[in-house]
Structure 1
Amino acid sequence: MSRTDSTSYLEPTQAAGRQFVQRDLSGPVVMLNLLRFRDVADYSGHPELAPAVPISGARAFDRYVEHTLPFLRESGGDILFLAKGGAFLIGPADERWDLAMLVRQASVASFLSFAAHAGYLAGLGHRSAAVEDSRLLPLSEMPCRTPAEGMQA
């Protein structure tokens, strides 16, 4: 994808979802989220969630997190890390992310259960209104090894 490509990634495709499940990850899964927010949240797809006055994408995402946390925690997950983003130190000069977030789930099954929960889905429109572009990378923890240990393996 070239930097001039204006494709936004907001939802997983069926193929990506299938590939995620087929990875057969065991144990906890950490989701690396990179998020770029709209200047003004766009609630046109979910007018029932729209506030009385326009708000920023960042504020709409705050509403999404407030709505989501109880469902996330109920499913065995939690936010591990939340940080303000910016431009890359190593990476494309014209690419920036407003927020980086690490979300941990006990397992792939608990993540899928959370993602399909009707209560959680009822507030998903806040995320849609907030986010201009995103990346979601599922991570599976691996043991840390020193360079010497890695050479012995």
Structure 2
Amino acid sequence: MRIRDVADYTANPELTPEVRISGAEAFNRYIEHTLPFLRESGGEIMFLGDGGEFLIGPEDERWDLVMMIRQSSAQSFLAFSSHQDYMAGIGHRTAAIEDSRLLPMTELTIPN
């Protein structure tokens, strides 16, 4: 994820804080709002970390945060992501993130 310097609540004015906050602060609000719904759906955050410079990759790209979520199935993720109460706070994510990528993965078994 690429995080905005200053959160942009233009798309969700009902969530706008009284004072301007950073994109990182808005993302923290998103995580606090989201965790109960994620856990309820059987999901969990496996990893959340700061991004850095690429060892191999485009020099003109920067990614500030990396997050890995484990979910039991694609159906569980879709149910979580369309939950009405979860959606009520997704504007914090929108305000925080300038750009992002979502890469679904399936765990493989490593042969012995």
Larger Rg: 1
Which interval holds the TM-score relative to the shorter structure?
over 0.9
Q: Which runs of 5+ in 2 are unaligned?
A: none
After TM superposition, list the pairs within 5 Å mapping 1:100-111 onto structure 2: 100-111=66-77
User: Where does structure 1 differ by over 4 angstroms across 4 or more consecutive aligned residues?
Assistant: none
Q: Distance in 1 between matches of 2:24 and 2:111?
A: 38
Shift of 1:93: 1.1
Determine if the alignment matches structure 1 residue 131 to structure 2 residue 102. no
Q: Distance in 2 between matches of 1:144 and 1:90?
A: 25
Identity %: 65
- TM (norm. structure 1) is 0.71
User: Is the partner of 1:101 in helix, strand or coil?
Assistant: strand
After TM superposition, list the pairs within 5 Å mapping 1:71-150 onto structure 2: 71-145=37-111
User: Is the partner of 1:97 in helix, strand or coil?
Assistant: coil
Aligned residue for 1:43? 9
Aligned residue for 2:27? 61
Shift of 1:87: 1.6
User: Is the partner of 1:126 in helix, strand or coil?
Assistant: helix
More strand by share: 1
Aligned length: 112
RMSD: 0.9
